[in-house]
Amino acid sequence: MGSCAVEGGLLLTGEIWTGALNDAYRLGGSVGLYDTTLRDGEQTVGVVLDPEQKLEIAKLLDELGIDRIEAGFPRVSKDDWDAVKLISAAGLRAQIWGFSRAVPADLEALVELGVPASVIESPISDLKLNAIGVDREKMLDRITSAMRFAADNGILAAFFGVDSTRAEPDFYERVYKSAVEAGAREVVVVDTLGIASPEAVADLVGKTVEWVGPDVPVHFHGHNDFGLATASAVAAVGAGARWIQGTINGMGERAGNANLGEVALTLRALYGVESNLRLDRIRAVAASVQALSGYALEPWKPVTGETLFRRESGAVASQFHDPPSIEPYSSTLVAAERGIVLGKKSGLDSIRIKAEELGVDVPEAARVELLAKVKELGTRKRGLVTDEEFRELADG
C-alpha cells in the first residue's frame, strides 16, 4: 500500500489517509470476490440485459480482477441460457459459475451446459418454507439430493440457504452440515432481506465456519435493506468468510446487494484485507454497467460517485492543495479526477483556483466582486456555475 509518513502524529500510508485509529482492528490477509451482477444484479427492477450485453459486462468484470463471475440462471429464459453459454466459452480468467435451485431440471441444465461450478439455492427459513408450502424435512431431502447430484456430476457446488439469517438456528445448523455431508464443497451464508446486523452476521458466519470445518470455504451474500451490506460483508470476513458475493454498483432487488467496489476499498483501506479487484478500474466499470443497465446513481455514492473529488465549498477549497486534509484516500487510487466547481458555497480560494485552471486573468483585487457574482448566479440557478459562465462573469 505504499510508503508511510507521519505528520503531526497522524499516520499517512501511501494513497490511503485514514490515520491510525483503525490499526487495532486490522485483519490482514485476503478475500475472494464473487460477482452476481449478471444474475442477482439483473433482478433490479426494470433492468434487462441481453446475452451480448452480459458477455460485455463479464469481460469488464474479468478485467476488473473479479475472481468468480456468476454468469446467470440458465433455466430462467433462453436469453439466460445463451448468456451462460457465451460467457463460459469466452476464455475469461475468472472462474465462471452458474446458479440453480435444488430441483432436478435446473441441475440437469448445468450438466448440459458444462458449467463446472454453481451456487445451488433452497429456502430454509420457516417464513419461506410456509410461503411455498414445503416442510423442513422435504426441503432437507431436496437439498441433500441436489448436493449428491452435483458431486456425482463433477459440479463444484456451493449450498446457498435462502433467508438463512432468519432460519431457525438448529435447523440452519442441520441443513448446512447435511449439505456438506451430501457433497457441497462450499456454503453461502445468505442475508436475503438484509435484516442482520453486522454483529449478527459475524456470529452466524463464525458458527458456520466451525460447523462445516476448515476445508469448506464460507461465502457471505448480503443485501442492503438497512444500508449495512458493506459493514456486514466486512464483519463476515472478520469472522472467517473466504468469499464475498456482491454486484457492481450494489445493483439488485429492493435496496440492492453488497457493492463489491465499496467492499474491496473498505477492506483494503480500513482493515488491510486485500482482494484482486483493481480499484483503478472500478469507476470505469461501474459507469459502463450503469450505462448498459440504464439506471442512474447518486452523485455522492462511495467509490464511484461523480462528486467525490469535486469541491464547491470555499472552506474546503482553501485546503484543496493538500489532498490528505480533505480526502480519506487519493483520487489516483480509484482513477478519479479532482476539481473545483463554483456555486453558492464558493470562496475566494475557489475563484483563484478556477481562474488558474482556466487560464483566466483575475487580479486579486477583483476576486471579491467576482465571487459575489458567482454566488448570486449559483443561488439564482439553484445549481453550479459552469466554466463558460465563469469566463463570462470574469470578462464582464
Q: Rounded to an integer, what distance in angstroms lies between the CA atom of residue 216 and that of residue 211?
A: 10
CB neighbourhood size of 321 (10 A):
10
Exposure b/e, 227-252, CB count within 10 A at least 16 = b: ebbbbbbbbbbbbbbbbbbbbbbbbb
Decide: 284 and 301 in contact? Cβ < 8 Å.
no
Q: Are 204 and 235 contacting, i.e. CB atoms less than 8 angstroms apart?
A: no
Q: What is the pLDDT of residue 14?
A: 85
Q: What is the pLDDT of residues 361-388, one digit of tens each?
A: 999 999 999 999 999 999 999 999 999 9
Q: Indicate the burial class of 119 (C-beta count within 10 angstroms; 0-12, 13-18, 19 or more).
A: buried
Those residues with Cβ within 8 angstroms of residue 241's Cβ, 6 or more apart along the chain or in another chain:
31, 189, 205, 209, 218, 219, 220
Check pLDDT > 50 for residue 333.
yes
How is the chain split into domains, by residue range?
24-293, 310-395
Strands (E), 274-366: 310-311, 339-340
Predicted structure pTM score = 0.93
What's residue 2's pLDDT? Answer: 41
Site of grid cell 419461506: 128
d(CA 263, CA 122): 26
> How do residues 7-48 score in pLDDT, each as one tens digit?
443 445 589 999 999 999 999 999 999 999 999 999 999 999
CATH architecture of 24-293: Alpha-Beta Barrel (3.20)
pLDDT, residue 396, reads: 78
Q: What is the pLDDT of residues 34-91, one digit of tens each?
A: 999 999 999 999 999 999 999 999 999 999 999 999 999 999 899 999 999 999 999 9
Per residue in 266-290, pLDDT (tens digit) is 999 999 999 999 999 999 999 999 9
Instruction: Give every CB contact of residue 160 below 8 A, 6+ residues apart in sequence.
Output: 119, 120, 121, 122, 187, 188, 190, 221
Place of cell 458477455: 55
Task: Centre a 10 Å sphere on the Cβ of residue 312 and count the other Cβ atoms it contains.
Answer: 19
